[in-house]
Structure 1
Amino acid sequence: MCHQKLTTDITEFKCSDGVKLYLNPIMDMFNGEILSYGISMRQTLELALKPLEEALEIVKDSRFRTTVHSDQGWHYQHNKWVKTLKENNVFQSMSRKGNCLDNSPMEYFFGLPKQEMYYGEALCSFEELKKKLKNISIIIITSE
């Protein structure tokens, strides 16, 4: 069933202007749909929380328990993240240390845009890369 098992992670892209772009999507593992995402120049708590709050709005009427799976990044261990999940009756699941297979659906997703528009291409600026990611997100994100 949709909205039962969600996964999230943050990936990094280097940009030509010396900054990095961090992408944080939340994916429904039922169908691979990206429910929400965040883009930032820094790995902030807000980068993790804003997409979570948007995804929780989408899944709030689910008849089944929702689980959000992540790695053990500091964002996902932060009190605000944990509290937000508890307040919304969402179960938290984290990978064991060094077990990347648990997060393989998200890693596979990250490979798609990186393969198609990043690897082997000249680096572009933060704003150019952000625009490219938003353009492809029209296809993969149904909540916008």
Structure 2
Amino acid sequence: MDQIRAEQSQRPKEQRFTTGEILRTIQLPKATYYDERQRIAHPSTKYARVKQAILKIVEEGRVRGLTYGYRRVKAKLEELGIHLADATVESLMHQLGVQVSMYNRHRNHQYHSYKGHVGTTADNLLDQTFNETNPYQVIHIDVSQIKLANKQWAYISVMIDEASKEVLAFQVSDSPNRLLIMNTLEQLENQLPATATPIIHSDQGWHYQLPYYIQRLKNHHFVQSMSRKGNCLDNAPVESFFHLFKTELLNGFPPCKNLSEFKQLATQYVHYFNYERIPFKN
């Protein structure tokens, strides 16, 4: 004992205890200590396998014309047995440069179909109550636009089932005209059971105020409902779809070359949305 004390007293104060002595005192295995030092010195190695998995997931999505946000990447990772916190997945995607930024709606000059009172408006039967649980009872319709690489505009007319969130009708055109709206309604009619008489809820866009649209609804015993003027929250379910469509399909990619390419990608996305997309509440 006296010999050990003598040896320690001869050491410089800053080197009195070796790493090995400290590790033995706190009962920490050397392998654990040096592994952690390696991770601190080279943090990228800690999640090397996870990053490879993220890149593969993102690339698989891009091949299909889709972009994945961190929540969907996280869900895909969990299918592979990799369980990480939301913040960790988001951080890793940021490091890799594959995170999805918010879609900039101003870049595409959001389509405004309201032209004042050009026909007949209907009462708002929903009043922002979107709690229907049975399909084919409440259906939301709206039109949006996308700018293409050739400087032309593509117009999208869509109808969403409030209960199932399924896209029941989806049409694309180079003009927001009568034919676009009538084709959308025809597609819906072919999808619905013969006995269905849903509420068809829209904004006060000019398309939905005109006699040909109103009469088409009456012919099938559909009930017309309209949002209040300038209140997009009154038609939130379909607005939510457009946000997802633009974020997941278009954001992070070059604009579609022309209407034909856009139609092809949009059709693939709608199929993915209806049958494959991982559902989230928000």
| TM-score relative to the length of structure 2 | 0.48
Per-residue CA deviation, residues 83-135 of structure 1 (Å, 9 max, x unaligned), is 00011111000111021111111010001121122233221222222211111
The structure with the greater share of residues assigned to strand is 1
SS at match of 1:6: strand
Deviates more, 1:130-139 or 1:51-60: 51-60
Q: CA RMSD in A?
A: 1.5
Residue 31 of structure 1 corresponds to 164
After superposition, residues 1-144 of structure 1 pair within 5 angstroms as 1-62=134-195, 65-126=197-258, 127-141=260-274
Q: Following TM superposition, by how much is the alpha carbon of 1:141 offset from its aligned partner in structure 2, in angstroms?
A: 4.7
CA distance in structure 1 between the aligned counterparts of 2:268 and 2:193, rounded to whole angstroms: 27
Gaps of 5+ in 1: none
| 2:214 aligned partner, one-letter code | V
Deviates more, 1:116-125 or 1:19-28: 116-125
CA distance in structure 2 between the aligned counterparts of 1:120 and 1:140, rounded to whole angstroms: 18
SS at match of 1:31: coil
Contact 2:158/2:184, CA 8 A, preserved across alignment:
yes
Q: Following TM superposition, by how much is the alpha carbon of 1:18 offset from its aligned partner in structure 2, in angstroms?
A: 1.3
| 1:58 aligned partner, one-letter code | Q
For this pair of structures, how many residues does the alignment match? 141
SS at match of 1:139: helix
SS at match of 2:195: coil
The structure with the greater share of residues assigned to helix is 2
Contact 2:249/2:269, CA 8 A, preserved across alignment:
no
User: Computing the radius of gyration over CA atoms, which structure comes out larger, 1 or 2?
Assistant: 2
Gaps of 5+ in 2: 1-133, 276-282
Greater relative contact order structure (CA < 8 Å, 6+ sep): 1
